[in-house]
Structure 1
Amino acid sequence: MDIPLLSPELTWMLIGERMSEGHYLYVDIIDDIGPLSAYIYWLIDMAIGRSWWTYKILASLVILFQITYINRLFIAYRAFEDNTYIPALVLIILFHLSFDFLTLSPALMGTTFIILALGQLFSLTLLKQESTESVLMVGIFGGIATCFHFPLAIFLPFLIFTGIMVSGFSFNQLVLSLVGYFQPLVFCGIYFFWIDAFPQFISEFILATRITQIYPHVGYLDLVILLLIPMAFTFGGYFIGTLLKSITVNQQKQKQLMVLFLIFALLSVLLANHRTPYQMVVILPGMTYFIAQIYIYLEKRRLINLFFYLFLILVPSVGYFWSLQKIQSGKIYNYAVNEVPPSSQKEKILVLGDDISLYQNATLATPYLNFRLSKRILTNYDDFDKMSQVYLNFKNEKPAKIFDREGVFQKLLQHLLPLQEMYQEEENGIYSLKTNTSY
């Protein structure tokens, strides 16, 4: 399919690269990425450097773990009467709904810990005695997931509601779970306080979804097209499981748990400020639970075969043809990066705009990676402290070229006159560092 490098993937590589150079997240790198995700990309860059294939291979290992864990979870807690590997097969097929499901995204890594929290909630539907460890781990796993990908914070009310209504949390258990949930966030906050970046941690990570506009990499119609067939099978599985099978009390609790999981997973997609298909990976475990019931509870073999081959063919086909149409028509121009001619030497540059394709053969200079967040700083002309810091960032790092897509740097030159001594405009919107500058 000749799948291109995606804009978010290049952003993650730039974050890892800049952190491996000794720069601090949220201070020297302005972006809304989760801190734990950023440090995973830092480790990858430290070990290998920029590597598209590494992201794919590591994502495959994470996906394999999720598939194995979900299937074992359903077997261990008797979600269905028979021990079966049908949920694993269903989840494998669902992961091929979109090509960007198969990359190491913050959503994929965070979903892994949401699944682990779900496993602890499943255990609480069976145990007759109180399990302090499971209650605590529900919260800890939920908090870690949020530190990977902030839109997963929507699962906090899910954990509270299901803990009380489905698992029967007492007040002490609820408090214990909340303490566990906020522990990872508190530890992250302490670390960024230690490096004098706590305000940036709050504004760029916690509040970023509220202070920036959504990045519309794809339209809502695209998400609906991708979800239409899997959700039809999901509703079909729900009604088949409801009408054709009587279930135990524990299975009833598990069913309620998965219905709520699916609802909150959909809400997390809407909360994300990057509208992309990979945000939907968190929905897959919920859909798997219900779709598997079609093949487990139906008794007529012909119907089972019909639904199986329809699912096996339709789900990957929709994802394939959607991706093919988008790639060949160029309609993911703001999602995939444009190919640029290879360069023998990587220059330090700054791109002020949403299209970051030029970073493929260059490195980021200055902290201003995320344009939506950076624009608030670069245009805050009345704040003397921030303008001083902006000037120092340009003076210290001296990007060789600045590609001013939105006219932000042009206006900045009018307020920071010393920058006019450092840069000259080569052509419309492109500024280069003067070779004879004394700065």
Structure 2
Amino acid sequence: MLRFFRSYYPYQYASLLGLLLLIRLPLLLHPFPMLIPELNWMLVGEQMSEGHLLYRDIWDSISPLSAVVYWGLHTLFGRSTLVLHIAATVVSVFQIVYFNYLTNNRDVYPDRSFWPGLIYMLFLHLSFDCLTLSPVLMSTSFLLLAFGTLIKQMERRGATDEVFEVGFYIGIAALFYLPSALFIIWATLSLLFYTGTSFRQHSLSLFGFLFPIAATVLFYYLNNSLDDFNRNLLASVFRVRQYSLSDFQSLVASLLIPLGLGVLGFLSLFRSSSRYVNFQQRVQQIMMIWFVTAVLTIALGPFLAPMSFLSFVPPMAYFTLYYFENFRKGWLAELGFSIAFGLILLLFYQGLLGLIPGSDLGRLSSLQVQSSPLPDNIRDRHILIIGEDLSAYRLNRPATPYLNWDLAKYDLKNLDNYEAVINVFDHFRKDPPDYIIDRENVVDKLFQRAPALAGWYEKTATAGVYKRK
């Protein structure tokens, strides 16, 4: 396979994209388990399509531009995981083609080939959850655009005002996935160490980063929702931790080969550094800074899953190529890549198809939406879930802004505060749920603090479920 993609002809793009579809098409046609993050994203898009404003009327920590994408997809197609997977494939195609084009057009490597795109495409399949349109995937597209503009500046004797674009792309990436804002550190260090950037140009890059964020802040200010924006997005990055992944074995297995190959590729540079010109060595260094920055973003992510590591794919793919390029015998490189290719795809298919009998490796069961705990007759109703388990929303619609339990605690776990009780009562009055599913035992206290609400609801035969009279 390496030998086939070694040649650099335009028709190889068709071969590369054909291989991508060959890998994904069987899974896109296979019944796919809905993931809890996917359900959460679709609920946000659904609520926004009904006229609710994110952060004010929908308490969730999703970044605004990602929410806008889910809003648009829901408006056009409704709730559909297949649409998320198809859209993710389109974004993946862009990243693969752009990464391959950029590395070859800018002579990032000594030789031109389709290896960058091939390795990038392979590493996009860390796990089956990487098939969906996640905020990390969308954010990484703009980080790649920032990388492209950055290395364009490195080719010149001095930086130009195009450094504004670097900051702007990172600002957009942060509005898709807030932890990506840390990449402004990556851009600043890269411009400082590897380009002739002046103080004015550094300021221009920072302004480019702040511009889209400031425009978003202004939008919420004009809608009298700045406090909601700050609490549910900016402050939540340090507090919200959803969908805890207990299957660390699957997480480690999905990252082991790509990270291992990336590290081996990085170490191989010490044996052959004389082969590379100054520009290529500087690119190697800024890719190392990218990797370190990506590690920092993990601590700020709202949940832990293989899809959270998609921002690692560019540096892992970048350094892995050096590992196979520095093999002295071509057949050994071909054998090594074939083994890595087979093992990565084995785990990828195992997660969805269960190819290994009796093994749950890669299944990510804790991220999958389970069957609804509600009786079968409760469907297509407005409900409120008090707790982390969102599975009952799969066949129903959310009521009140309290979608994210970590954020809902501001009110529902603070019922000794008069203002919190007033907030809850107002939200119930504006958007009363038909059913309340209480998994945190707060309803009794809520009814004590707001007796008017107690008169609206009655207990059902199902424990923790209250029905509107």
Equivalent position of 1:365 in the other structure: 399
Equivalent position of 1:410 in the other structure: 444
2:230 corresponds to 1:202:
yes
| Equivalent of residue 237 in structure 1, options 265, 280, 292 | 265
Equivalent position of 1:285 in the other structure: 314
Q: Is the 8 A contact 1:30 1:204 kept in 2?
A: yes
Equivalent position of 1:89 in the other structure: 118
Equivalent residues in 2 for 1:8-407, closer than 5 Å: 8-133=37-162, 135-213=163-241, 215-245=243-273, 246-321=275-350, 324=354, 332-340=364-372, 346-407=380-441
| Worse-matched range after superposition: 215-224 or 146-155 | 215-224
Number of aligned positions between the proteins: 433
Secondary structure of 2:366 counterpart: coil
Secondary structure of 2:299 counterpart: helix
What is the TM-score of this pair, normalised by structure 2?
0.88
| Worse-matched range after superposition: 23-32 or 395-404 | 395-404
Measured in 1, the distance between the counterparts of 2:436 and 2:342 equals 47
Q: Is the 8 A contact 1:379 1:408 kept in 2?
A: yes
Secondary structure of 1:271 counterpart: coil
Deviation at 1:195, TM superposition (A): 1.0
Q: Is the 8 A contact 2:36 2:243 kept in 1?
A: no
Equivalent position of 2:466 in the other structure: 431
Measured in 2, the distance between the counterparts of 1:110 and 1:343 equals 40
Q: Is the 8 A contact 2:288 2:315 kept in 1?
A: yes
Q: Is the 8 A contact 1:117 1:142 kept in 2?
A: yes
The letter for the 2-side match of 1:357 is: S
Q: Is the 8 A contact 1:375 1:408 kept in 2?
A: no
Q: Is the 8 A contact 2:243 2:367 kept in 1?
A: no
Measured in 1, the distance between the counterparts of 2:284 and 2:431 equals 55
Distance 1:327 1:30, change over 3 A: farther
Secondary structure of 2:437 counterpart: strand
Secondary structure of 1:241 counterpart: helix
Secondary structure of 1:132 counterpart: coil
Measured in 1, the distance between the counterparts of 2:363 and 2:448 equals 36
Distance 1:221 1:209, change over 3 A: farther
Deviation at 1:344, TM superposition (A): 8.9
Distance 1:328 1:410, change over 3 A: farther
Deviation at 1:66, TM superposition (A): 0.4
| Worse-matched range after superposition: 234-243 or 70-79 | 234-243
Q: Is the 8 A contact 1:381 1:415 kept in 2?
A: yes
Measured in 1, the distance between the counterparts of 2:379 and 2:345 equals 40
Q: Is the 8 A contact 2:237 2:302 kept in 1?
A: yes
Measured in 1, the distance between the counterparts of 2:454 and 2:422 equals 15
| Structure 1 moving runs of 4+ over 6 Å | 341-344
The letter for the 2-side match of 1:203 is: R
Distance 1:267 1:249, change over 3 A: same
Measured in 1, the distance between the counterparts of 2:421 and 2:75 equals 32
